[in-house]
Amino acid sequence: MRIEEAINLGKENLKKENIEDALLKTRLLLCYILDKPKEYLIINNKESLSKEQEEIFLEYLEKLKSGHPLQHITHKQFFRNCELYVDENVLIPRADTEVLVEEVVKLARTVDASSILDLCTGSGAIGIALSKETNAEIVATDISKKALEIAEKNSKLNKAEVKFIQGNLFENIPKENKFDIIVSNPPYIETKTIETLSEEVKKEPKLALDGGIDGLYFYREIAKQAISFLKINGYLALEIGYNQKTLVTKILLENNFMEISTIKDFSGNDRVIIAKSS
């Protein structure tokens, strides 16, 4: 099978299963199998795959057709200026979350932040990016031991300095610790909505998706506890669902946060809320 034939086969098969970005995913899969850049596929599209490469391609194509994320096959995801290892134990970092990091980086530079806490760190994407882009000391927590093992691995891969602590939100954070900024991309999907998501998303850990009956469980918990761990005039920065601005704002106001602002993502949806502690 030639490269061009493999691309056409993959594209058509994935389209039949209504897999988004069928052509792109096929090309990225081939790049991974061949260990070559995307340009190689264009220049050498007449080149034939070896028998072993063809077998691996067809095997992985079946996984993609059944809804497995490409990143669970390649174990690779790019986020900001970092290359991250990902698997089924962590949420795959999305481009929308880069908006959250960008805003926190700007905020950290404005207030000359010396300490930042990243809650629900998962793959470590947010904490690692902030470690590389700010001068702050970064602490990151997650309830999942497996997720933290991956976050540690990613921290080493990217030569970042992050202190990881296992625990549910603020659990195991010493009470005397105070942070300039607390940041989080918590689970925020309504429990009943998870079953309606794409097969790819449903292959990701439910622990990283399920925000409770109304999707707001973690916002309530974070808002309620964050004041105790923020310095005076510290900031809380949260990623939110596209339709959660009003409700999360209400939660923050009820917990004495002020100067609340919202930032939109690349698609024009409300995606980040930043609030100041009283």
Q: What pLDDT does residue 278 have?
A: 81
Q: Are strands 82-84 and 77-79 parallel, antiparallel or unpaired?
A: antiparallel
188 and 57 in a common domain? no
118 and 197 in a common domain? yes
Mean pLDDT by 10 residues, the chain (278 residues): 96 94 96 95 95 97 95 96 96 96 98 98 98 98 98 98 97 94 97 92 93 97 97 97 97 97 95 95
**Per-residue CA distances from 52 to 28, 137, 204 (Å):** 18, 47, 29
102 and 40 in a common domain? no
SS3 242: coil
164 and 39 in a common domain? no
186 and 51 in a common domain? no
Residue-number span of the structural domain to which 219 is assigned? 77-276
146 and 22 in a common domain? no
Using alpha carbons, select from 240, 238, 237 the residue that is nearest to residue 269.
240
Q: What pLDDT does residue 206 have?
A: 94
Q: What pLDDT does residue 56 have?
A: 97
**Inter-residue contact 128 to 155 (CB < 8 Å):** yes
93 and 46 in a common domain? no
Residue 99 belongs to a domain: yes
138 and 176 in a common domain? yes
Q: What pLDDT does residue 61 have?
A: 97
Q: Which of 17, 32, 66 represents a domain boundary (last residue)?
A: 66
140 and 60 in a common domain? no
Q: What pLDDT does residue 5 have?
A: 97
The CATH number of whichever domain residue 141 belongs to comes to: 3.40.50.150
- Please give the tally of structural domains in the chain: 2
